[in-house]
């Protein structure tokens, strides 16, 4: 584990601007639900995933999965594209990277 500096009398990093704080807070709020964390975890292991696979992976109704995906999409964590009748979801790499950087990873 990497040793972190000890702070005394001032921050080691620049404070986040208000827009960045709001964006990050919205993304963390989107991840406050265990199902959404599980969806993000599943999407992290593939380039993209058909919504039909997500529906099959969870013991939830299709409208509930769609709601969770909408929350993640509104937070900018996932994006989707349509192919015929199916939607394919993938993580937004920059959004995930920003979360990771915020946590010092």
How far apart CA 49 and CA 56 sit, in angstroms, is 11
Grade residue 11 by pLDDT with cuts at 50, 70 and 90: low
Grade residue 21 by pLDDT with cuts at 50, 70 and 90: confident
- Which residue shows structure tokens 């964390």? 37
How many Cβ atoms from other residues are within 10 Å of residue 75's Cβ? 20
Q: Tell the CATH topology of 19-102.
A: Arc Repressor Mutant, subunit A (1.10.10)
User: Which tops the pLDDT comparison, 100 or 15?
Assistant: 100
Note the pLDDT of residue 9. Answer: 66
**pTM of the predicted model, to two decimals?**
0.82
Average pLDDT over residues 20-42: 94
Torsion of CA 95, 40, 24, 7, to 10 degrees: -100
Residue 72 in tokens: 């993640």
Kindly report, residue by residue over 74-92, the tens digit of the pLDDT: 999 999 999 999 999 999 9
Q: What is the SS3 assignment for 80?
A: strand
């Amino acid at each position: 584990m990497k040793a972190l500096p000890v702070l005394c009398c001032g921050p080691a990093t620049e404070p986040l601007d208000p827009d960045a704080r709001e964006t990050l807070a919205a993304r963390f709020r989107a991840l406050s639900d265990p199902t959404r964390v599980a969806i993000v975890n599943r999407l992290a292991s593939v380039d993209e995933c058909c919504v039909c696979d997500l529906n099959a992976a969870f013991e939830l109704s299709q409208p509930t999965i769609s709601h969770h995906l909408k929350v993640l999409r509104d937070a900018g964590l996932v994006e989707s594209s349509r192919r015929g009748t199916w939607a394919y979801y993938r993580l937004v790499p920059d959004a995930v990277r920003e979360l990771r950087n915020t946590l010092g990873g």
